[in-house]
């Protein structure tokens, strides 16, 4: 019997198991979509606990599939749960969960990469960026094929304070391949230090919570899975626009086994490459013989700040594309060679 005056926490009524849902609706993970189902509700509960206190929270679950994590979120007594699912096959099973939790679930059949997250939650939940994070969370067991482009998109949203971060410093709890999780959290000098390390850590506090063995999923992937928690920082560690930071970081890690100056070189056109590279490295006070993985966040901040000044002085620098110049050079070389052959043939025929 309930204690008088005490509100009872919401619990889902008895439902078919996730395995039974999969059989009932004849669901099968599609390899081309890199889908893997998590059937163990103890593990889905553990994932949801990494998000923190969810009582009366507003949650968006990305790609709920057959609804394992969905059940754990609902049992955490959230106020509202938004489900964004691209695969129509899962919608009937999710509607069954929605009916078991009246007025708590909203289902959107759509692609999270294009869904307008600025309209996902009530406006009154919005907080100032400097305040504590809003009572909004994003949770998802992401398909491997979408996880990296999606987190890059959301990191850009963090930088611009739009999308799901229109409401403030919205927290995210997401799954990735173990190797990607290690890249997201790798420290300076670590073997997995990469573009993802810098882009995520300069904008967020990133925690690798725990690893789920591959055999816990159906079908079993060939890799283990990491659960990673993100909390946007009040102040980014690199005070420059997202696209500029991404360009510098991407260039540096283009040649991760070489000295960092090799990657910096491709920020500049060939005609002034050596001079500009030397100038940038000197002004940023970065040792050109350091490897990319040895560069600290402070190093990258200095590099981005100096590159920004150089771009302000010469706006064409930012639009310069190393690969395009290389392509044009090869095209010109092939054209010149073809013209030479034609000239030789003409001479023979004269």
Is 111 labelled a binding residue?
A: yes
On the 0-12 / 13-18 / 19+ scale of CB atoms within 10 A, 105 is buried
Helix runs in 230-321, H state only: 242-252, 260-265, 273-284, 297-313, 316-319
Is 141 labelled a binding residue?
A: yes
Which single residue is written with the structure tokens 């099968």? Answer: 28
Q: Look up residue 31 and give its DSSP letter.
A: G
Is 63 labelled a binding residue?
A: yes
Dist. CA 218–CA 27, nearest whole Å: 11
Which single residue is written with the structure tokens 């593990």? Answer: 43
Which residue in 345, 254, 264, 342 sits closest to 310, CA to CA?
264
On the 0-12 / 13-18 / 19+ scale of CB atoms within 10 A, 292 is buried
Which residue in 196, 183, 187 sits closest to 226, CA to CA?
183
Q: Is 147 helix (H, G, I), strand (E, B) or coil?
A: helix
Whether 220 and 212 have beta carbons less than 8 Å apart is answered as no
Is 38 labelled a binding residue?
A: yes
Q: Look up residue 17 and give its DSSP letter.
A: -
230, β-bridge pairs? 172, 206
Residues contributing to the annotated binding site for S-adenosyl-L-methionine: 36, 38, 63, 85, 111, 141
Q: Which residues are documented as binding site?
A: 36, 38, 63, 85, 111, 141
């Amino acid at each position: 019997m309930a204690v008088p005056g005490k509100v009872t926490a919401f619990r889902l009524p008895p439902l078919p198991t996730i395995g039974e849902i999969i059989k009932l609706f004849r669901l099968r993970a599609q390899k081309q979509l890199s889908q893997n189902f998590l059937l163990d509700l103890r593990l889905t509960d553990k994932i949801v606990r990494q998000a923190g206190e969810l009582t009366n929270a507003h949650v968006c679950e990305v790609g709920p599939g057959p609804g394992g994590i969905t059940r754990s979120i609902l049992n955490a007594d959230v106020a509202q749960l938004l489900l964004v699912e691209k695969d129509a096959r899962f919608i009937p099973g999710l509607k069954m969960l929605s009916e078991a939790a009246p007025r708590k679930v909203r289902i959107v059949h759509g692609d999270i990469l294009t869904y307008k997250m600025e309209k996902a939650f009530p406006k009154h939940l919005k907080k100032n960026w400097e305040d504590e994070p809003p009572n909004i969370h994003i949770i998802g067991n992401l398909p491997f094929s979408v996880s990296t482009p999606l987190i890059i998109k959301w990191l850009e949203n963090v930088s611009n304070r739009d999308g799901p971060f229109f409401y403030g410093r919205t927290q995210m709890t997401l799954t990735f391949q173990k190797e990607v999780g290690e890249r997201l959290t790798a420290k300076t000098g670590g073997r997995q230090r990469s573009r993802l390390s810098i882009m995520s850590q300069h904008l967020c506090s990133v925690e690798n919570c725990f690893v789920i063995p591959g055999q816990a999923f159906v079908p079993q992937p060939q890799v283990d899975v990491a659960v990673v928690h993100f909390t946007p920082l009040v102040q980014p560690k690199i005070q420059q626009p997202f696209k500029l930071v991404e360009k510098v970081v991407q260039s540096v890690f283009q040649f991760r086994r070489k000295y960092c100056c090799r990657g910096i070189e491709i920020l500049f056109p060939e005609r002034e490459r050596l001079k500009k590279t030397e100038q940038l490295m000197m002004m940023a006070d970065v040792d050109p013989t350091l490897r990319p993985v040895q560069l600290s966040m402070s190093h990258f901040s200095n590099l981005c700040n100096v590159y920004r000044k150089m771009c302000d002085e010469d706006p064409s620098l930012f639009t310069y594309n190393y690969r395009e110049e290389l392509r044009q050079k090869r095209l010109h070389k092939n054209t010149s060679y073809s013209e030479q052959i034609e000239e030789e043939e003409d001479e023979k025929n004269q």
